[in-house]
Structure 1
Amino acid sequence: MNIVASTVVFTVDDPAGSRHFFTTYLGFREVLATPDFTWLSRDDAAADILLRQRDLEQPRERIAQPVVVFAVTDLAKEYERLSVEGAPITRQLRRKPWGEALMRLTDPNGIVVELTEWIAPGGHPDVG
């Protein structure tokens, strides 16, 4: 088996709010929009995102909090850009002792997006 593409599916109350979040702050573009779903993509290796309208008859508590993690380059620069743009940052940029720098944003529907960059311990950049 050879996996050639990936899609992450999020079931949300407000697909338009999530579409705005992903296209405005994370560089996704809308590929297709229907009354039932919106398909977003990027031109790099990131997984595609499919936003589905939540079935209002399904209890909200039965839907797990979705999290998607993107490994990126130059996270410190992205953190500054997102801060200036007023992105909804919910975990400030920090560096873990094992060499991972990370930050989190949360979209209007509660989708947590973690941006991470792997840096050799003792290497650059210097993140709090």
Structure 2
Amino acid sequence: MEILASRVLFRPKDCARTVAFYRDSLGLAIAREYSGGTVFYAGQTLIEIAGHGAPPDGAPPFPGALWLQVRDLAATQEQLTQRGVTIAREARQEPWGLHEMHVADPDGISLIFVQVPDDHPLRRDTR
């Protein structure tokens, strides 16, 4: 199998509210818009908020999280706070060395903002 492209697709209960969150609260740039949704740039991936195919009432929440690497976690936390975003878990260093902060989108999807320290193994080329 060859994967040519990928993106994260969310089908929120309130599309307009979720688009506003990703566009205005998080400040993500729009890659494209179409009659049924909006696609945002998010680093090396895309996040699509689709207004079609919304989950039925009572559907289980998204079973995972969205991992978003940033250059400066403290600055990101400050920006989000200034935009009125509730920080679910303040920025801190995890036992595995990454600096993480948690936010929830309007549907409760966990967004994990991550800063990779200069000395972390993720920064080293193992080849």
TM-score tier after normalising by the smaller chain length: 0.7 to 0.9
Equivalent in the alignment of 1:52:
50
2-structure distance, mates of 1:50, 1:7: 7
CA contact (8 A) 2:11 2:55 kept: no
Q: Determine helix, strand or coil for the equivalent of 1:61.
A: coil
- Give the direction of change, closer, same or farther, for the CA distance of 1:66–1:116 in structure 2 (3 Å limit): same
Equivalent in the alignment of 1:27:
27
Q: 5 Å matches for 1:91-102? A: 91-102=89-100
CA contact (8 A) 2:12 2:54 kept: no
What letter is aligned with 1:33? Y
Offset of 1:114 from its aligned partner?
0.9
Please give the TM-score of this superposition, normalised by the length of structure 2: 0.74
Structure 1 residue runs of 5 or longer lacking an equivalent are 122-128
Offset of 1:12 from its aligned partner?
0.8
Q: 5 Å matches for 1:1-128? A: 5-30=5-30, 31-34=32-35, 36-41=36-41, 45-53=43-51, 55=53, 58-119=56-117, 120=119
Structure 2 residue runs of 5 or longer lacking an equivalent are 121-127
- Give the direction of change, closer, same or farther, for the CA distance of 1:67–1:57 in structure 2 (3 Å limit): closer
Please give the TM-score of this superposition, normalised by the length of structure 1: 0.74
Equivalent in the alignment of 1:126:
none
What letter is aligned with 2:8? V
- Give the direction of change, closer, same or farther, for the CA distance of 1:63–1:78 in structure 2 (3 Å limit): closer
> How many percent of aligned residue pairs carry the same amino acid?
26
Offset of 1:100 from its aligned partner?
0.8
